[in-house]
Amino acid sequence: FALIIADHEAEYYFDERYVPGFWSHPKLKELCDGVLRCWILQNAKFDMRMLGTKDLVLAGVTMDDTIAARLRRNDYFQSQAYSLAEQARRHGFAKDDRVAAWIKDNKAVEERKDFFGNTYTSPRYDRVPLELMEEYGCMDARVTYDLFKIYIDAFDPEDAERQIDLYVNEDNKELAR
Protein backbone atom coordinates (compact mmCIF):
# COMPACT_ATOMS: atom_id res chain seq x y z
CA PHE A 1 0.00 0.00 0.00
CA ALA A 2 1.00 3.64 -0.29
CA LEU A 3 1.06 6.64 2.01
CA ILE A 4 -0.63 9.68 0.52
CA ILE A 5 -0.65 13.03 2.28
CA ALA A 6 -2.43 16.25 1.34
CA ASP A 7 -2.01 19.65 2.89
CA HIS A 8 -3.64 22.97 2.02
CA GLU A 9 -1.81 23.23 -1.29
CA ALA A 10 -0.57 19.88 -2.61
CA GLU A 11 -0.73 16.07 -2.44
CA TYR A 12 2.28 13.83 -1.83
CA TYR A 13 2.40 10.18 -2.88
CA PHE A 14 4.82 7.78 -1.19
CA ASP A 15 5.15 4.24 -2.48
CA GLU A 16 7.90 1.68 -2.01
CA ARG A 17 7.76 0.95 -5.73
CA TYR A 18 9.07 4.50 -6.28
CA VAL A 19 11.42 4.59 -3.29
CA PRO A 20 12.65 1.13 -2.24
CA GLY A 21 12.96 0.90 1.53
CA PHE A 22 10.52 3.76 2.04
CA TRP A 23 8.66 2.12 4.94
CA SER A 24 11.82 1.80 7.02
CA HIS A 25 13.30 5.22 6.15
CA PRO A 26 14.18 7.27 9.27
CA LYS A 27 12.54 10.40 7.79
CA LEU A 28 9.18 8.59 7.64
CA LYS A 29 9.40 7.67 11.33
CA GLU A 30 10.34 11.28 12.08
CA LEU A 31 7.30 12.49 10.11
CA CYS A 32 4.94 10.15 11.98
CA ASP A 33 6.44 11.01 15.37
CA GLY A 34 5.70 14.74 15.06
CA VAL A 35 3.52 15.41 18.11
CA LEU A 36 2.49 18.81 16.76
CA ARG A 37 0.90 17.29 13.64
CA CYS A 38 -2.77 16.92 12.94
CA TRP A 39 -3.56 13.84 10.85
CA ILE A 40 -6.83 13.87 8.92
CA LEU A 41 -7.89 10.38 7.87
CA GLN A 42 -10.89 8.70 6.30
CA ASN A 43 -11.78 5.64 8.37
CA ALA A 44 -8.83 6.21 10.70
CA LYS A 45 -9.11 2.79 12.36
CA PHE A 46 -8.27 1.05 9.07
CA ASP A 47 -5.46 3.45 8.12
CA MET A 48 -3.86 3.23 11.53
CA ARG A 49 -4.06 -0.57 11.49
CA MET A 50 -2.35 -0.62 8.08
CA LEU A 51 0.38 1.74 9.29
CA GLY A 52 0.82 -0.54 12.30
CA THR A 53 1.76 -3.38 9.95
CA LYS A 54 4.77 -1.21 9.07
CA ASP A 55 5.48 -0.45 12.75
CA LEU A 56 4.38 3.16 12.34
CA VAL A 57 2.25 5.06 14.84
CA LEU A 58 0.88 8.54 14.20
CA ALA A 59 1.75 10.91 17.03
CA GLY A 60 -0.14 14.16 17.49
CA VAL A 61 -3.85 14.59 16.89
CA THR A 62 -5.80 12.23 14.64
CA MET A 63 -9.07 13.41 13.10
CA ASP A 64 -11.47 11.18 11.15
CA ASP A 65 -13.74 12.42 8.33
CA THR A 66 -16.23 9.64 8.99
CA ILE A 67 -16.66 10.58 12.63
CA ALA A 68 -16.71 14.32 11.87
CA ALA A 69 -19.43 13.79 9.25
CA ARG A 70 -21.57 11.72 11.60
CA LEU A 71 -21.21 14.26 14.39
CA ARG A 72 -22.00 17.12 12.05
CA ARG A 73 -25.15 15.37 10.85
CA ASN A 74 -26.04 14.15 14.36
CA ASP A 75 -26.28 10.69 12.79
CA TYR A 76 -25.14 8.16 15.35
CA PHE A 77 -27.05 5.24 13.86
CA GLN A 78 -25.70 5.45 10.31
CA SER A 79 -28.83 6.33 8.41
CA GLN A 80 -26.43 7.71 5.77
CA ALA A 81 -23.47 6.05 4.08
CA TYR A 82 -20.11 7.43 5.21
CA SER A 83 -17.68 6.03 2.67
CA LEU A 84 -15.40 8.61 1.13
CA ALA A 85 -17.30 8.28 -2.15
CA GLU A 86 -20.66 8.99 -0.47
CA GLN A 87 -19.36 11.92 1.53
CA ALA A 88 -17.69 13.36 -1.58
CA ARG A 89 -20.92 13.01 -3.55
CA ARG A 90 -22.96 14.78 -0.86
CA HIS A 91 -20.57 17.74 -0.95
CA GLY A 92 -20.20 17.98 -4.72
CA PHE A 93 -16.70 16.51 -5.04
CA ALA A 94 -15.87 14.14 -7.86
CA LYS A 95 -14.59 10.72 -6.79
CA ASP A 96 -12.28 8.99 -9.24
CA ASP A 97 -13.76 5.62 -10.23
CA ARG A 98 -11.10 4.67 -12.80
CA VAL A 99 -9.35 2.27 -10.42
CA ALA A 100 -12.57 0.35 -9.73
CA ALA A 101 -13.21 0.22 -13.48
CA TRP A 102 -9.65 -1.01 -14.15
CA ILE A 103 -9.99 -3.73 -11.51
CA LYS A 104 -13.32 -4.86 -12.98
CA ASP A 105 -12.13 -4.76 -16.60
CA ASN A 106 -8.93 -6.65 -15.78
CA LYS A 107 -10.52 -9.04 -13.27
CA ALA A 108 -7.89 -8.00 -10.72
CA VAL A 109 -9.50 -9.75 -7.76
CA GLU A 110 -8.72 -12.71 -5.60
CA GLU A 111 -10.96 -15.03 -3.68
CA ARG A 112 -10.58 -15.05 0.08
CA LYS A 113 -12.31 -16.69 3.00
CA ASP A 114 -13.53 -14.84 6.04
CA PHE A 115 -13.34 -16.08 9.63
CA PHE A 116 -16.46 -18.19 9.13
CA GLY A 117 -15.22 -19.79 5.90
CA ASN A 118 -17.42 -17.72 3.58
CA THR A 119 -15.79 -16.91 0.26
CA TYR A 120 -15.60 -13.34 -1.00
CA THR A 121 -13.61 -11.47 -3.64
CA SER A 122 -11.12 -8.76 -2.77
CA PRO A 123 -9.67 -6.20 -5.21
CA ARG A 124 -5.95 -6.46 -6.00
CA TYR A 125 -4.82 -2.84 -5.94
CA ASP A 126 -1.22 -3.97 -6.31
CA ARG A 127 -2.01 -4.97 -9.91
CA VAL A 128 -3.32 -1.52 -10.89
CA PRO A 129 -0.76 0.54 -12.86
CA LEU A 130 1.24 2.69 -10.46
CA GLU A 131 0.53 5.97 -12.29
CA LEU A 132 -3.22 5.36 -12.05
CA MET A 133 -2.97 4.47 -8.35
CA GLU A 134 -1.00 7.65 -7.71
CA GLU A 135 -3.64 9.86 -9.38
CA TYR A 136 -6.42 8.02 -7.55
CA GLY A 137 -4.68 8.16 -4.18
CA CYS A 138 -3.85 11.84 -4.48
CA MET A 139 -7.46 12.64 -5.37
CA ASP A 140 -8.65 10.67 -2.32
CA ALA A 141 -6.21 12.55 -0.08
CA ARG A 142 -7.39 15.89 -1.49
CA VAL A 143 -11.07 15.02 -0.99
CA THR A 144 -10.38 13.78 2.56
CA TYR A 145 -8.61 17.04 3.44
CA ASP A 146 -11.24 19.25 1.80
CA LEU A 147 -14.13 17.39 3.45
CA PHE A 148 -12.59 17.80 6.87
CA LYS A 149 -12.21 21.53 6.28
CA ILE A 150 -15.95 21.66 5.59
CA TYR A 151 -16.72 19.71 8.75
CA ILE A 152 -14.37 21.63 11.03
CA ASP A 153 -15.50 25.01 9.68
CA ALA A 154 -19.11 24.06 10.49
CA PHE A 155 -18.26 22.94 14.02
CA ASP A 156 -19.71 25.14 16.74
CA PRO A 157 -18.08 24.50 20.13
CA GLU A 158 -21.10 25.88 21.99
CA ASP A 159 -23.42 23.55 20.11
CA ALA A 160 -21.11 20.65 20.97
CA GLU A 161 -21.45 21.52 24.67
CA ARG A 162 -25.24 21.57 24.29
CA GLN A 163 -25.16 18.16 22.60
CA ILE A 164 -23.03 16.73 25.40
CA ASP A 165 -25.42 18.16 27.99
CA LEU A 166 -28.32 16.40 26.24
CA TYR A 167 -26.65 13.02 26.62
CA VAL A 168 -24.85 13.45 29.94
CA ASN A 169 -27.39 14.59 32.50
CA GLU A 170 -28.53 13.40 35.90
CA ASP A 171 -30.88 10.80 34.39
CA ASN A 172 -28.17 8.83 32.60
CA LYS A 173 -25.01 9.45 34.63
CA GLU A 174 -25.27 5.92 36.02
CA LEU A 175 -24.42 4.70 32.49
CA ALA A 176 -21.06 6.44 32.65
CA ARG A 177 -18.06 5.02 34.44
Q: Which of 77, 96, 76, 74 is nearest to 144 (CA)?
A: 96
Considering only residues 172 and 65, tell me which one the structure prediction assigns the higher pLDDT.
Answer: 65
With cut-offs at 50, 70 and 90, classify the pLDDT of residue 152.
Answer: confident
pTM of the predicted structure, to 2 decimals: 0.79
pLDDT at 174 over 90: no
Average pLDDT over residues 63-76: 80
With cut-offs at 50, 70 and 90, classify the pLDDT of residue 94.
Answer: confident
Distance CA 131, CA 7 (A): 21
